[in-house]
Each structure stands twice: as structure tokens, then as C-alpha cells.
A = this chain, B = another copy of it.
Amino acid sequence: MKRIAVLTSGGDAPGMNACIRSVVLTALHFGYQVYGFRHGYNGLVDNEIELLTMQQVRHIIQKGGTLLKSARCSKFKTESGIKLAAKHLDAAEIDALIVIGGDGSLRGMMHLSKYWQGQLIGIPGTIDNDLSGSDNTIGFQTATETVIDAIDKLRDTADAFERIFMVEVMGRDAGFIALSSGIASGAEQIIYPEGLKDIHQELDCIIQHVESARKLHGRSSYIIVISENLWPGGAYDLSQVLTEQIGIECRPVILGHIQRGGCPNGFDRILATKLGVFAVEAIKNGHSLMMVGEISNELTLTAISDCVNNKKPVDKKLSDIQAKVFDSVEILSNCTKSTI
């Protein structure tokens, strides 16, 4: 009988609990024992381990957060930390470890594999969706809905006051949340890393877009969605720059960690459930150092090294729709921005 362990690591994402539940139920189905480590990789280093039972995962599919807690772990980046982790895994006679997390968590698995011989399977869990090897990562769709809900609320007050808002959303270095939430909320402008060469060079274009819209529609609400980490000081400072240049107040809204919380939506619960089942099946089938994913509706295994090394592009159909179709109608812009 195999003994498997599971942990959640890095930025938490809605659906992690649904995934833990799926891993536990599937493991029990195969007759395995299943353990949880708490606080991400810290739990390995500090040996925070507990047996997981069917009772513990009842009715958690809809819960935000993660019952195993998550954390960053600096100790795991040292050789002594990793060796301690490997020692604890061996002491508990764990055959296989499942890690639910993002880019950094997957890299952690690669490091661990140098010091520990057990099977290692990754499950993509991050709201940023910035992992190759799965069309969607667990939490991305829920976070996007949270952003959309917030922008819908902003639209009401923006319309009432005919105001300009700049909404900063998460995504680390990727524009998935910005692009999807921007399209879905009918945002007038979307600024995201894949759509720009250099935001400082393209500032004129950003401003020109606002001014063209004002010319076309008169006073009217105008919402800009912008990814984090694109401008020094973020939306707070950039909105200030815009306010000065266009002479109309542009107000910033920074959604922050709200995007990580809340009940996972159905999409993420189902994705998390499928990937949890498939991860345990992958262990049963002897795989290691692979990440499970869903690509074009098929459950897939991709080498973890490929997942972290290849940059996943945003959906070109979406970026084209925004840049080429809607803009040309709505704004009639002949903006020189590189790709959008």
C-alpha cells in the first residue's frame, strides 16, 4: 500500500481545498494512506504532518483558502532545509508527494528531487495562470470572476459620475487576469505585459486612447484594466500621471488580495477535482516530476521542467479582438502601440 502526501504552496488560490479533497478521496479509493504537510514546504522542513481522512475533506469543496495552509519558504532554498525535508519524507515512509502551487512551487519540486527519491507530481494552483502545461490553473477563473464583479460595480459609479478609473489586477508577470477580466467587463482599455513593448514609450498611446474615446462618446465612463508590476508605483502613480496629462481625474483602484479569496467557482472546483484524481492516478502509474494539467479538454502530463521554462502565451484570439476589432470601432484609434 502506497503512502502519499500532499501540500499547498505559494500564493493560495480558490479551489485548493477542492483539489485536496479530490486527492484524498482518490487515494482512499486506491487504498492508499494520505498525509498532509502544513504551511507549504515549511511543513516538510518542520515536519508538520497529519493523516488526512475522508471526514476531514467533507464539504470543503466550496471553501476558499486551503486547510493545509500555505506559505513561502526560505529555508527550503538552502541545502540543509531540503535535506531536512527529504529526511522527514523518508521518516514518514512517504512514497509520493503531490504539490499544489505555482511556478515557485514547481521549481521547489525540482530541487527536492535531487535529495529525495520518491515520486513528485505537481498540480497547477495559482490565480495568475502563468504555467505552461495546463490551459487553466486552479484559481484563475475564480479570480477573474472576482475582478469582473468588482469592475461591474465600478461601472455603475463610473457611469453615474462619468469618471475614469484605472483598475490594477494581479498576474505577476502575465496578463491573463487583466485580459480576460478586461474583455469580460467591456473595459475601454486593457494594459498587460504581453500587449506592450515598453509602457514608458507607449504612454502617449495610452493617453491618446482615453482622449479619442472622450471625443467619440463625449463625457462617459472609461475603465482601464492594468496588470500589476508594469509601472513603478503601480496604478496609483500611473493614474496620477494620466490625471495630469489629460486634465481629467483618473482614479486608481487596487484590488489586491481580494483576488485570492472567496469560494471557488464551479469551473475551478471541477478543474481541481479532475486534476486531483489524475495526479493520484499518475502516481499509481509510476510517474514522477510531472505536472498534471488540462489542455484542449484532455488531461495531460508535462515534465515540470517544461512547465516552468516555457512561457505560456495569452489567448491570441482575445488580444486580437480587443486590439483589432473592438478598438477600431469604438475608438478609431491609429495608435502606434506595438501589439495592441
B64–A156 touching, CB < 8 Å: yes
Do A318 and B12 contact each other (CB < 8 Å), given the known contacts A65-B160, A154-B258, A157-B257? no
In-complex Cβ contact of A156 among B29, B65, B155, B274 (8 A):
B65
Does A41 sit at the interface, judged by CB under 8 A? no
A256–B256 touching, CB < 8 Å: no
Does A262 sit at the interface, judged by CB under 8 A? yes
B66–A144 touching, CB < 8 Å: no
> How does the 8 Å CB contact mask read for A116-145 relative to B, with 1 for contact and 0 for none?
000000000000000000010000010011
Do A261 and B152 contact each other (CB < 8 Å), given the known contacts A66-B160, A274-B317, A274-B321? yes
B266–A165 touching, CB < 8 Å: no
A330–B66 touching, CB < 8 Å: no
A64–B273 touching, CB < 8 Å: no
CA distance A43 to B44 in the complex (A): 42
Residues on A facing B (Cβ under 8 Å): 8, 11-12, 14, 16, 21, 25-26, 28-29, 54, 58-59, 61-66, 69-71, 135, 141, 144-146, 148, 150, 152-163, 165, 180-181, 183-186, 217, 221, 236, 251-254, 256-258, 260-263, 265-267, 269-270, 273-274, 277, 296-299, 315, 317-318, 321, 325-326, 328-330
Across the A-B interface, the 10 shortest Cβ-Cβ residue pairs = A153-B261, A64-B156, A296-B296, A156-B261, A12-B160, A65-B156, A157-B260, A65-B160, A184-B266, A184-B269
CA distance A258 to B65 in the complex (A): 23
B59–A269 touching, CB < 8 Å: no
CA distance A158 to B70 in the complex (A): 10
Do A186 and B62 contact each other (CB < 8 Å), given the known contacts A12-B157, A277-B325? yes
- Shortest CB-to-CB span from A38 to chain B, Å, is 10
A160–B266 touching, CB < 8 Å: no
- Shortest CB-to-CB span from A124 to chain B, Å, is 16
Identical chains bound together, number: 4
Do A160 and B70 contact each other (CB < 8 Å), given the known contacts A54-B330, A186-B59, A325-B25? yes
11 A-B Cβ contacts within 8 A? A25-B329, A29-B328, A64-B156, A141-B266, A158-B257, A180-B266, A183-B273, A184-B269, A184-B270, A265-B265, A274-B318
A155–B28 touching, CB < 8 Å: no
CA distance A234 to B60 in the complex (A): 30
Measured CB to CB, the nearest residue on chain B to A159 is: B65
- B contact residues around A144 at 8 Å (CB): 266
- B contact residues around A14 at 8 Å (CB): 156
- Shortest CB-to-CB span from A48 to chain B, Å, is 12
Do A61 and B185 contact each other (CB < 8 Å), given the known contacts A12-B157, A160-B66, A318-B274? yes
- Shortest CB-to-CB span from A136 to chain B, Å, is 10
